[in-house]
Structure 1
């Protein structure tokens, strides 16, 4: 009975939640960390409510960043529309005016502002069909190179670092060529993660004959690791490079530029193994021949083999235990012998009898000659 009641309560909550989602509009005010993608999706199977206004306000945490956004899966009524402002309110610059339509996806657009304000307004005509809009946001800046994107050398570490096309989040320039070499310690490999890709594909993604990014090991451009030229990709893609160095060449032709790419790179170091250091002794020795000073790790130059060191230490421990026992036994034996000798001497002295000499008076004892005395 209790289980049925819980199931009914859960179902009721779910139905109420869906009803609220259809009948209400929640305004969003959120922040964007560097190169972190945030996605929002509004959808109603029977149409948004009339005279509804909803908004997304996205603010870059780093005020030096700008915003890239994209609206996809747009399905609106004839009197519904979307506006985008370069700022935090409708009083800022309008960069997308009264956009509407069905089965529509806009291109990725860069906004020259650390904030963006997207407003959805519905009209008076009730829609009986599905309505939706999907929005992607990212804050970032140009990470193509300190001075130029040509012949840049980047050093990968354990923490991710970012690389972008020139001018990001604005569209990359036409007729642009860039090259970067990413290097890491010799024992490491590399990991590349694409967070956004918006590069003109040309005739096909397999040729990238218009714009494209080629990722290859130095000197092996004819057999690249990756060939990248796709549009409107926001799903992260991670690629392992089995080398401590990789080269990236980006080229754009003389027409049509797009959002470009954002990728992070980092070095993958081999796992470290920890061993318990064996110790050996050096320097002076005690009377048993065992070392008594200066311990050194087996990894240090001049240290002895761990097996021989262990056997030597075991021998030293045995000797150090036996010697005291032997000394105690000897001392006990000597003490017993001395005690026996003293007892016998005392018994012999007490048993000697003296006979009075003739002519002596009773009670007078004749003095014995020195030879008769006990020594």
Structure 2
């Protein structure tokens, strides 16, 4: 009996040694590197083990000239955070000063990412606390015009053009896709974007599938113009400068028809507003104030005058809202407002994503009137020809509290 057991144990040991001998060595992944070739695999340091803390790893991928880089994540498991502030993977088109194609964390795998040249940079950053096994991604070289169902995006530099979701209009866009379009106009021009058809999975906060549009050449929440989903085309969008970045993302669940959008370059114009009359007589003409002359406006003493009732009729728009972003450029403040209530819309351009409405305003003098991010205000001002709200020192802004809601509701019935 003992002899039989000994023979069985010996056979088992031999079998284990044989299997180990036949198993190829697992590829080891180091922290970054310069990678060339038609295709390959990259992974976080130590993958599939837990990645180390306090590291910054950079991979520079180069494929043959005339090709573009297509990167697909096969596995992603990093510390989860809504804004990916702690552990994250950044992907850039190009090696230096390239547009960022996306920042990723958690376990959601984006769709294929496509560079606009034969170079791509992947960077992974971890903080002191790690929480995952990192990532595994494959890259390959493709022809720039190989825009199959799984690819989309690119750099658009013609005076006008079209962009659309994969599969449009034959069938729904696929799940797990990220598309990024970088539109670049000449220095003295701006960009107008209009959506002809629009159908993206609906959600009140556009958390799952969405289109996000940014001023500039990369994803930057401080420069985000809007985030859109649902089946209503967004209002026309105008860039502040000569570059726009449009990102479309679909998650791994529901999909929809998608969209087709058009862009065109336009001459750059200075935003304008209207000076309210200094007397009680109705104005016969209005005089625009170019934004470049706002410095002269800002020399006067900043003091709020009047009441919401006295400013209502002379204001083109009246809204209450929360300041989401507030960025200083030159002597002015550019703000994004999440709208609480609209009392007078006028010419103000309002974007809607699900039930959430937002708009853009410019405080011509950055400290007069002064606003702070995260607080609620009533805004009363003028809208320029592009629908952007303009607030000069003589216009009216005050802090808004919910207990004042009833009094403001009476403004809607005011006759002018």
TM over 0.5: no
Decide which structure has greater strand share.
2
Which structure has the larger Rg?
1
What TM-score results when the alignment is normalised by the length of structure 2?
0.29
How high is the TM-score relative to the length of structure 1?
A: 0.31
